[in-house]
Structure 1
Amino acid sequence: MDYFVTVKGSVLPVSVSLKKMKQVRLKVFPSGEIKLSVPTGTPEEWIAEYLNDKAGWIEEKLEFFIQTRAIEKEKHFVSGSSTRILGRQLTIQVYQARRKQIIREDSVLNVYTPETDQQIIDKQVNNWWQKTSKEYFQDVLNRLYPIVEKHGVQRPDICVKKMRTLWGSCSRTNQKINLNFYLYKASVPCIEYVVLHELAHFLYPYHNKEFFDFITVHMPDWQYRKQQLDYEFVIGI
């Protein structure tokens, strides 16, 4: 269903989904897309009023993404462009070299390559990002897995892939956790929250009271971490 919200005089479309859930979930994406998920049976009048009440919050989100896009221009990896890794802003520098190599030094990501074709350079960085982020996510999993291991949960595998709207997901059937390719941009506490969230789903499939009680016991500040992730995370590289 499509609804609308007025932000700074502009009427913006909102994609609304009715789902089998207990909580309301409103998300604004860097593309400007606005999505609202509500429990099945939620009255249309309530949805319209809720969006009207959230207009100020939506405006803040959109303004943040506009400001961020001015900093992070990552359609191509060229010298002078920037990215974020583990919450830190990095400047990208590309150098001609005999062999391919990528080295992170403090606030600089040095890309060494014999290539001159921009698409090939972009692929080199994306391959490095895929490998490096997975290694890091594995380390986080190693630290957090014992929390669910004692409850008989088999150690899951990690798959890193590009996702448009989710930080992570899990497959109980395949014993696998999927993490967003772009999550490597987020700060360490935010990444830890996503990994624990997905691990908890192996014990509690739904976002019910037991699920959130379990996370609260093992990560009391999870709500703050989630808030930081929702506010700072930018999809796209």
Structure 2
Amino acid sequence: MKIENSVGVVTGAASGIGKAIAVALVEAGARGVVVSDIDGEGAEKVAASIGDAAIAVRADVTDEAAVRALVARARERFGTIDLFVSNAGLPVTGGYETSDEDWKRALDVNLMAHVYAARAVLPTMLATGRGHLLQTIAACGVLTAFGAAAYSVAKQGAVAFAEYIAIEHGGQGIGVSCLLPQAVDTPMLAAGVKSSEQLALLKAHSEVLEPGQVAAAALQGVEENRIHIHTHTGSAESFRLRAQDPDRWVAEMRAIRSGRPAA
């Protein structure tokens, strides 16, 4: 789809990647953007910074009724929704011992929010024969995340759901893209490290992108209707290795996790 003259809804848009995508949409010529976040005040600030092309709507993406209300407000204001960016996410750490409550939190935010968005927008998109779903998932959606079982499972489920929509409805004018970033300099990344020194070390030894770089890659991927949008060097290659030789891939990931060379 073309970004120019489109209308987009972006969840999790009070900061980070979501904010950058909302800004980038208007800069690319979108005629309307709905900035949504559970942080309503933050969403208002982002919308105000964008200008008349944006409105803010507070919404909890784990509440299906709230997602439907968000979609209704967007259509009331702009008449249509061309692009729904399901961007809200929540990191949940822990392994097999992770509590049922944390498993539910991980699944509700990182998987079911995408399902609720699709239920809310797809019927009208299918009726008009046009529309695009962009899901911010993370590279662990096609790889894995160390020390985060529930998060990895939820993200991989989100990729599976996106691919399902693309297969079932791609021939009916519906585009679907999975945004698969690794480390991005966002409040979520900062919250996941223990100190400013640890964050500085991460930036020194890893590829940490700025939100604007990820947003630019996302919009390019949408316009090209790509199902997987890899933003970091090596991510796509690791995914290919996983598909071609899963035993070798697991061995390499285990070695990286343990800090030892792969056998």
TM above 0.5: no
Structure with more helix by fraction: 2
Q: TM-score, normalised by structure 1?
A: 0.30
Given the two structures, how large is their TM-score scaled by the length of structure 2?
Answer: 0.28
Between Structure 1 and Structure 2, whose CA radius of gyration is higher?
Answer: 1
